[in-house]
Amino acid sequence: MNRVMINPKVHSLHNYRRKTTNMIMLVLAGVSTVIAIVPLVWILFYVIIKGAAALSWDFFTKLPTPAGVPGGGLANAVVGSVITVGIGVIIAAPVGVLAAFYLLSSQTKPFGQVVRFATDVIAGVPSIVMGIFAYTLIVLPQGHFSALAGGIVLAFIMLPIIVRTTEEMLKLVPNSLREGSLALGATEWRSSFSIILPAAFNGVLTGLMLAIARGAGEAAPMLFTAFGNPFMSVSLNEPIATLPQTIFVYAISPYKDWQAKAWATALVLIVLVFSLNILSRVIIWWRARQLGSGNR
Using CB under 8 A as the binding rule, the residues of this chain from 247 to 286 that contact other proteins are 247-248, 251-252, 259, 262-263, 266, 269-270, 273-274, 277-278, 281, 285
Q: Choose the binding region for other proteins from 39-47, 71-79, 82-90, 195-203 (rule: CB under 8 A).
A: 39-47
DSSP SS3 for 240: strand
Interface map 159-178 toward other proteins (x if CB under 8 A): xx--xxx--x----------
Among 83, 153, 219, 226, binds other proteins (CB under 8 A): 219
Among 12, 13, 14, 22, binds other proteins (CB under 8 A): 22
Q: How far apart are CA 69 and CA 261, in angstroms?
A: 12
Q: How far apart are CA 143 and CA 120, in angstroms?
A: 32
Q: How far apart are CA 62 and CA 232, in angstroms?
A: 10
Among 85, 148, 211, 227, binds other proteins (CB under 8 A): 227
Q: Choose the binding region for other proteins from 5-13, 60-68, 81-89, 240-248 (rule: CB under 8 A).
A: 240-248
Q: Phi, psi at residue 24, to the nearest 5°?
A: -60, -45
CA 20 to chain centroid: 42
Q: Is the dihedral of CA 197, 96, 114, 121 positive or negative?
A: negative
- Compute the least distance from the CB of residue 193 to other proteins, in Å: 9
With respect to other proteins, which residue has the nearer C-beta, 61 or 118? Answer: 118
Q: What are the residue ranges of helices labelled H in the chain?
A: 8-54, 58-61, 75-105, 110-123, 127-134, 140-142, 147-172, 175-183, 188-190, 197-199, 201-216, 243-251, 256-290
Q: Choose the binding region for other proteins from 6-14, 62-70, 118-126, 195-203 (rule: CB under 8 A).
A: 118-126
- Compute the least distance from the CB of residue 229 to other proteins, in Å: 14
With respect to other proteins, which residue has the nearer C-beta, 76 or 119? Answer: 119
With respect to other proteins, which residue has the nearer C-beta, 76 or 156? Answer: 156
Interface map 62-101 toward other proteins (x if CB under 8 A): --------------------------------xxx-xx-x
Q: What are the residue ranges of helices labelled H in 55-136?
A: 58-61, 75-105, 110-123, 127-134
Size of the site for other proteins (CB under 8 A): 100
Residues, the chain: 296
Among 26, 90, 184, 234, binds other proteins (CB under 8 A): 26
Q: How far apart are CA 59 and CA 47, in angstroms?
A: 16
Count of Cβ atoms closer than 10 Å to residue 227 Cβ: 20
Among 115, 197, 271, 291, binds other proteins (CB under 8 A): 115
* Contact call for residue 43 and other proteins (CB under 8 A): yes
Whether the Cβ atoms of residue 245 and residue 145 lie closer than 8 Å to each other? no
Whether the Cβ atoms of residue 216 and residue 150 lie closer than 8 Å to each other? no
- Compute the least distance from the CB of residue 74 to other proteins, in Å: 14
